[in-house]
Structure 1
Amino acid sequence: MTPSGRTNQLLYQAELLLAVPAGDDEHAMSRRMAREEGALALLELALNAALRELTEHARLPRHDWRELLAADARPVAELTQLGELAGQPESWLAWLLSRLQALHGVEGAARREVASPMTIPVAGQRALGDELPGCILAFKATLAELRETSVEW
């Protein structure tokens, strides 16, 4: 498999996982949370695969997003662009990185739904599974642009 093929495969698998219905039995919430966190973990793998693919010409020893998107990372054009995108709080990449940090934390990234009539829903707070598809679409669009500039090298 090619590096771009692996990146595409991981993005596709994340989409497939999100398409699986949670059901409506007593395990539905746990299944939904597992599906969301599983898709998020696949997106982390896809991000690392994309970084490997886009920096192939730089022959970097590691491809972990924590290292490559750090402020003091090696000056590779694609990494610079992604670093700038990560620095924009409203960008899909900043959103993804914050969810990846949560995924690795004690609380996790998926949230339980509070289904009590006594609670007031927080405006603008969407379920992780509702936000991930948009993130995947933006990831794919950015990846297509970066692949194009990477080929030029």
Structure 2
Amino acid sequence: MTPRARTNQLLYQAELLLDAPAGDDEHADSRRMAQEEGALALLELALEALLRDVTEHAHLAEHDWQELLLGPPRLAVAEVQRLRALADDGDTWLGWLVDRLSALHGDGGAARRREAGSAQMISIAGQPLLGDELRSCVRGAKREIAALRETSEEW
């Protein structure tokens, strides 16, 4: 499978998890949280696949997203520089994703429980559910990926 195909596959699988019904039994909230965190983990894998995808022309030995996007700048690859700028901006899909990935790897996790007794509630303390934010992140990623691939193909 090519890095492009793998990136697309992982994004699709994340969307499948987010769109799967969590049910309405006593485990629904835990199931929803597992689906959200599973989708977030798939997005982390998709980010690494994306880095392989758009930097094939640079023949990088390593594609660790944390090293390439958060570590000290050491490459003059336009696609990596563009992604670094997005990762630094908390108002972008990638800035948000980096923040949520930090939470996912932390002890508290990234998903949030619904308030007890309000199964119809959409937000918790004014915050949307992780799944809603993830859907928005995937849409932003898809738009950016198209532009990054176009730039990469020019090389």
TM range (shorter): over 0.9
Structure 2: any 5+ residue segments left out of the alignment?
A: 119-123
Residue 134 of structure 1 aligns with an amino acid whose one-letter code is: S
Q: TM-score, normalised by structure 2?
A: 0.92
Provide the residue aligned with 2:97 in structure 1.
96
Separation of aligned partners in 2, 1:25 and 1:116: 13
Answer yes or no: is the 8 Å Cα contact 1:40–1:100 preserved in 2. Answer: yes
Deviation at 1:116, TM superposition (A): 5.2
Q: Which runs of 4+ in 1 moved over 3 A?
A: none
Q: TM-score, normalised by structure 1?
A: 0.93
Deviation at 1:80, TM superposition (A): 0.4
1:122 aligned to 122, 125, 128, which one?
125
Per-residue Cα deviation, 1:60-107 (whole angstroms, up to 9, x for no partner): 121111001024242210010111111222111100000001001111
Per-residue Cα deviation, 1:12-64 (whole angstroms, up to 9, x for no partner): 00001111011110110110000000000000000000001111111112111
Provide the residue aligned with 1:8 in structure 2.
8
Alignment of 1:3-152 (within 5 A): 3-70=3-70, 71-115=72-116, 121-123=124-126, 125-152=127-154
Deviation at 1:2, TM superposition (A): 1.5
Q: How many residues align?
A: 149
Provide the residue aligned with 2:121 in structure 1.
none
Residue 41 of structure 1 aligns with an amino acid whose one-letter code is: A
Residue 9 of structure 1 aligns with an amino acid whose one-letter code is: Q
Deviation at 1:122, TM superposition (A): 2.2
Give the fraction of aligned pairs with identical amino acids, expressed as a percent.
Answer: 62
Paired residue secondary structure (2:11): helix
Separation of aligned partners in 2, 1:122 and 1:37: 20
Separation of aligned partners in 2, 1:111 and 1:122: 11
Structure 1: any 5+ residue segments left out of the alignment?
A: none
Residue 79 of structure 2 aligns with an amino acid whose one-letter code is: E
